[in-house]
Amino acid sequence: MERPAVVWGGRTYAFEELHGWANAHADRLRALGVRRGDRVAVFAETCPEIIATLVGHLEAGVIHVPINTRYRADEARHILEDSGAVAVLTGRPGDECNEVLEEILRNKRPPQLRHVITLPEVLPSSPSKQIFSSFSSSPKQRFPSGLPSDDDVAMLIYTSGTTGKSKGVALSYRALEENTRAMMDLWQFTETDRLVLALPLFHVHGLCLGAVGALLTGFTLLLEERFDAARVIDAFAHEGATAFMGVPTMYVRLLEYLEGHPETAAAFRKARLFTAGSAPLPAPDFVAFREKTGHAILERYGMSETLFTLSNPLDGERRPGTVGLPVPGCQVRLVDDEGREPAVGELGEIHVKGSGVMNGYWQRPGETAAAFRDGWFLTGDVARRDADGYVTIVGRSSVDIIKSGGFKISAREIEDVLRRHPAVKDAAVVGLPDRVWGQRIAAALVLEDAVRAEETGAVCEAVAAFAAEHLADFKKPREVRAVPELPRNALGKVQKHVLVKAFGSSSPAR
């Protein structure tokens, strides 16, 4: 067999097979009346069919809209409604996503949603030769040129902001193709690579660098439904894995595993590349990983809105704690509070221009305009630059954006849910520093006057349970504390740094 496109659960899937499904899926959508530019949502756990539907959508000009599989009904409904998806692909009956979807449909069907397709339907049980024969055998390809044009929207990636509900980041074919190719070239991926992909397929890290990278380059994906340190090591030991991409939390878990099973580190000896991104990789973890495995993790920086813009070099110094230098095709500048380029070592906000930048937020012209200045996208990330150009990210300009385990979380969204609880008068949510997750969520609650002092503990627990019921698991506050009032400045704004300090001084790490 030629090099497979996907290895999954001990089975291999050839590129031709994947394309067979992709074609059959695109034909089926067409038969259902789904047209170019329509949105099709995907709400299902990772499986090879998702890669096939992605290919089908790219080829048919249908906009791919992945939904976070941890989402509850309200969160998933928002994406279905906001994107105006005409169809949704979901897992097998009984899967969690499927159940959440049923709950959504039982209550009130999103107005434009006409079709619900379960993923097993995507996979023709006896794929016909006719489907296969329409494809060249070469896995390497460009996205089809005849159908969608380069500036058409290829996917909507929903992301949280400082205000309101999540917004759909509209990424064009050009952005996907040019930026992903630049990254693959920079990191010298070739057809002979075998990438362990345990990242979710609903964010740009796994979907673009991983899945689209494989489709453009023709390398093999060793696909995992969920991250599991032992499985990753096994893939290097027994399945010829050459590379791994992870968020820092995954590296913390790998390090813990290696600590407990030092003999398994030998599995990484022949590996070619380990990359990290989506959140800061602590320098001590970089050092510990190098000590244990001999590999210097290559850290890079990106964002749904811009794709991947800064990266440490493949050859040359990979400097711990930094995100390296601009990726080819991207321009990166720092701008201080006075609107000037800061001196070396001084802080400024990262602004980005380049091939991977989004077309805009889906149907939100006002918010799109506010996100750019003079053609530069304003990231909200604060950084400094060394004399030789290496960039170090020091934080974000907004305390209301939290990154936990690589997921971006809006503090405001959680506060809105907490305030819906009848015992809560007011709430403030902050991210506390956390060894494993980068940040963990804490909530300070001002309770209604009717709550008696001795009930406080039980009420806080009930409020946490209420939040867990309405929000994806990773948004659940891990610490909830009642306070007599929220610390506010003279203008009435909650002083979140004061809360972070108050929590930090007494709370145990998980």
- List % helix, strand, coil for the chain (3-state, nearest 5): 35, 25, 40
Cβ-contact 477, 442 below 8 angstroms:
yes
- Position of tokens 């003079």? 374
Assigned token pair, 74: 């309200």
CA-based nearest residue to 72, from 40, 101, 111: 101
Q: Which of 213, 218, 277, 324 binds ligand AMP (CB under 6 A)?
A: 277
Residue 335 CA: distances (Å) to CA of 103, 149, 341, 391: 46, 34, 5, 13
- The answer to whether 419 and 428 have CB atoms below 8 angstroms apart is no
Phi-psi region at 363: left, alpha or beta (left = phi > 0; alpha = psi -120 to 50): left
CA 20, CA 5: separation in Å to the nearest integer?
12
By CB under 6 A, residue 379 contacts ligand AMP: yes
Per CB under 6 A, the segment of 63-71, 79-87, 113-121, 295-303 that binds ligand AMP is 295-303
Selected from 16, 38, 299, 413, the binder of ligand AMP by CB under 6 A is 299
# of chain residues touching ligand MLC (CB under 6 A) = 23
List 40, 247, 281, 399, residue binding ligand MLC (CB under 6 A) = 247
Q: Which of residues 296-355 bind ligand MLC (CB under 6 A)?
A: 302-304
What single letter denotes the amino acid at residue 122?
A: V
For residue 33, how many other CB atoms are within 10 A of its CB?
11
CA distance 353 to 217: 24
Work out whether 75 is an interface residue with ligand AMP (CB under 6 A): no
CB contact at 8 A, 30 and 88: no
Which does residue 206 bind out of ligand AMP, ligand MLC, none, counting CB within 5 to 8 angstroms by kind? ligand MLC
C-beta of 195 vs 303, nearer to ligand AMP: 303
* Given 8, 21, 236, 301, the residue binding ligand AMP (CB under 6 A): 301
User: Residue 74's beta-bridge partner residues?
Assistant: none
85 vs 350, beta carbon nearer ligand AMP: 350
Q: How far is the CB of 279 from ligand MLC (least distance, A)?
A: 7
CA–CA separation, 292 and 304 (whole Å): 32
Taking CB under 6 A as the rule, which mask of x and - marks residues 382-421 in contact with ligand AMP?
A: -----------x--x------x----x-------------
First to last CA, the chain: 47
Q: Which CB atom, from 89 or from 208, has the smaller least distance to ligand AMP?
A: 208
- Select from 179-187, 298-306, 337-345, 361-369 the region that touches ligand AMP (CB under 6 A): 298-306
Nearer to ligand AMP, 173 or 407 (CB): 407
**Residue 380: CB minimum distance to ligand AMP, A:** 6
**Shortest Å distance, C-beta 226 to ligand MLC:** 5
Q: Which of residues 144-173 bind ligand AMP (CB under 6 A)?
A: 159
Q: Are 464 and 476 in contact (CB under 8 A)?
A: yes
Please state the closest distance from residue 217 (CB atom) to ligand MLC, in A.
18
What DSSP element (H or E) covers 462? helix 456-470
Task: Tell me whether residue 38 or residue 177 sits nearer to ligand MLC (CB atom).
Answer: 177
Other residues' Cβ atoms within 10 Å of the Cβ of residue 433: 11
Beta carbon nearer to ligand AMP, 101 or 303: 303
Question: What's 267's DSSP letter?
Answer: G
Interface contacts to ligand AMP, rule CB under 6 A: 159, 204, 277-280, 299, 301-304, 323, 379, 381, 393, 396, 403, 408
Residues near ligand MLC (CB under 6 A) are 199-200, 203-206, 226-227, 247, 249-250, 277-278, 302-304, 404-407, 437, 473-474
